[in-house]
Amino acid sequence: MGKGSAFGKSILIGDQFVLEEVPAIVSTIPFETKCEVKRIDGEGWQLEDNRTEVPGYKNKKKDQQVVSINRILEVMGIDVKKTPIKITYGGSLLAGSGVGASAAVCVSLARALNEEFKLGYTIEQINHVGWEGEFAYHGIPSGVDNTASAYGGLLLFWVKGKEQHFERINCKKPLHIVLGNSGVTANTALLDDYIAEMKAKDPAGFKSRMEAIKAQVFEMKSALEAGDLAKVGAIMTANHEILIQMGLSHEKLVYLCNLALKMGALGAKVTGGGRGGYMNALTTDEKMQAAIASAMEAEGYKVIRTTIGK
């Protein structure tokens, strides 16, 4: 039996525009998807998905998941007609939009297959397979989610031409964050078309916003390295305003962000592709984190409490 695991993620800024060559700041969160692969009798592959989910998420992603698994098997050269397998998913990462759930299943599957079939892949090759698997979910994936999932840590990620790059960010202080789930499952693959349409309608306005977000990314990187969390939070909130104007948030995400800010959060914004999934609130300490998370839970929202940037 081969086993593999991969982290979820939270993107602090730059989520939707990496393919526009806008950098993103992404961090893994200490929740993971675990995958087991074992050989079975018969032909083809079977799937048992035991992940806890946002209601309806797995069913909505079912067809994309089948395409993704088949692509990963093809890329890794595994013929399940000759060597049938059963794939089992579990782990602590909630299956939902905005926390890299699809990347985590892709990377964990790549690792489990690598172990079971003794392929000897490097982490770079595992990351590439994870990226290949993401095509089914994202149209053209930027690579940010699978890179965070494969490597871990707090990263500055960017694409130049067709090449993907990342560097680690040394954060002076840990960030206590609350991830609140809107309960809305977003179709990330449709976002590419929506963004392309915006760009075509108003190229000058779109370019101006990309430049503004790019400047925010580098401001946030400097603030993280300096330990200026108040500035990090302010940039998050300002970035969310741009995303709202572009139609890339959601009324439930806006509500949760405003709730967190009213309770003293340093900043709050949508995380991930947007139009559903999670929002991310940066709090001052564990006490505020617990208070904000509890307030969201009291209204029926699923919440992740975590610390990043350690």
In contact, 306 and 293? CB cutoff 8 Å: no
Q: How long, in residues, is the chain? A: 310
Q: How far apart are CA 214 and CA 212, in angstroms?
A: 5
Q: Token pair for residue 133?
A: 């698997």
How does strand 85-91 pair with strand 45-49? parallel
- Of 299, 309, 228, the C-alpha closest to 263 is 299
- pLDDT value of residue 71: 98
Rg for the chain, CA atoms, rounded:
19
In contact, 150 and 6? CB cutoff 8 Å: yes
- Of 222, 244, 217, 235, the C-alpha closest to 282 is 235
Q: All domains of the chain, ordered by start, with CATH?
A: 2-168 (3.30.230.10), 175-308 (3.30.70.890)
Within a 10 A sphere around the Cβ of 21, how many other Cβ atoms?
12
In contact, 109 and 51? CB cutoff 8 Å: no
What is the end-to-end Cα distance of the chain in Å, rounded?
Answer: 33
- pLDDT value of residue 16: 83
- pLDDT value of residue 146: 96
- pLDDT value of residue 189: 63
pLDDT averages per 10-residue partition of the chain, 310 residues: 95 90 94 97 95 90 96 97 97 87 97 98 98 91 94 95 93 92 76 83 93 97 96 97 92 96 97 82 96 97 89
